[in-house]
Chain A
Amino acid sequence: MDDRRVLTVSGLSVDYLTGSGPVRAVDSVDLELEAGEFLGIVGESGSGKSTLLYAIAQLLTPPAEIAAGSVEFLGRDLVQLTRAQLRHSRWRDFSVVMQSAMNALNPVMTLEAQMRDTCEAHTEMRSEEIHARSVEVMRLVGVDPIHLRSYPHQLSGGMRQRAMIAMALLFTPQLVIMDEPTSSLDVVAQRSLMIQVKRLQERLGFAVIFVTHDMSLVGGIADRLAVMYAGKLVEVGPTRDLFSRPLHPYTRGLLEAFPSIQAVRQRLIGIPGSPPDLARLGAGCRFATRCTDAIEVCAATDPPAENIDGRTVRCLRVKGWLGHAEQ
């Protein structure tokens, strides 16, 4: 076991308990994360990426629950911990940055008051220490500490998101989990925020899991990418490799689905069809109905995860394309 390994997710499955039985939103996900690594999880709405994130952070609420698997973080399985033990770990060892600051921040408290709340909930810090730390994290994210006295609605969208990141860094955690934190921002503010995150990561050394539906957003910043479809990870590997030579047809489709400002203007097709209904899955590959490379066996067999070329891919045809011997 690599002692630089920060997170090991094994066989994690999450079910939503509906009136007509459990629906599996996340299916046997395996992930590893090294210290200081930036992992991007990319998928469409409904792929289960947010559910996966919340499952890792142990933030699931009924009717969602973890059905199987483990989340080993710093040597302990988070799934098995009691609430009290989790509370001790939460925010000090790992923290979460939500999608919209306006929803996550308390609108009737100043930033300083919220940071104080957080500090008091997790530590025994004295008042002066809390203030000093609050000022420090605000400076870290590039927001003037004078805004500690502001209410969330008095700040711009970009500043609010930075304030959220500041709060997430209060105890310099080893892992920061981010759920599409730039989706409410304009392109210039978005770029600023991404740069800020990268700078902080290099300076403080924390690992990041970044969930998004926009692959191009994390393309220039993530070390590894995990592509998620219909509850399963279909391709995981180094970012450069995924972009230059995507193996899974879905990854390829994703890359070709957004227009690039650098490219010549020509018609793009995107991926026809829509994601499957998770309550009514067939036996075979979940992407088969939309896959332009699907063959007969794809509809019958659910591809296992295989390690190929330094990546993990779930596709029956990849080995054939790469000229490897059939298993």
Chain B
Amino acid sequence: MREELQLSELPEIHGAMAEFDTPEELLEACERAYSAGFRSMDAYAPMPVTGLAEAIGYKRNKVGLCVLIAGICGAIGGFSLLEWITVVAYPHNVGGRPLNSWPQYIPITFECMVLLAGLTALFSMLAMNGLPQPYHPVFNVPEFERASIDKFFLCIESSDPKFSVNETTDFLRDLGAKEVTIVPA
């Protein structure tokens, strides 16, 4: 009875966060956490670290596919718009030249392709990252503000089936973390 009461009084936990000084330490910690069976985790770094996303089990990056589809749509859309204008909507005889003068449409077709693909590169990246996001539990950790400056973090989330407060904290300490904190949700 007493134990149950305590659990319900505890704030919800997002996970356990370990702090590291260098990207190499973080990368190694991620690899070890992954091989220890943790799957629901995320690593945070102030700059891109090669191989970090792969180390925590990230596989399929769909940004490229989105950009490819958008580029094709932009090119087809741009070209058909011009065809439609010059052949259907506003056929205009210029010195007896053919209405379907497709080589003249290539520059605008190209620009439409780049425009749509470029906008999609930014917006698909943001959408898949779930940004803009006004609140995220990791910001509850005071040290986390250094994650955008000079510190490297690994957060094993409580949604992971292997997660347990004490064991995971000890595990992170064993990985050589400078500090381990519980992240309130």
Question: A and B: partners?
Answer: no
Q: Residues of A with Cβ closer than 8 Å to B?
A: none
Q: Residues of B with Cβ closer than 8 Å to A?
A: none
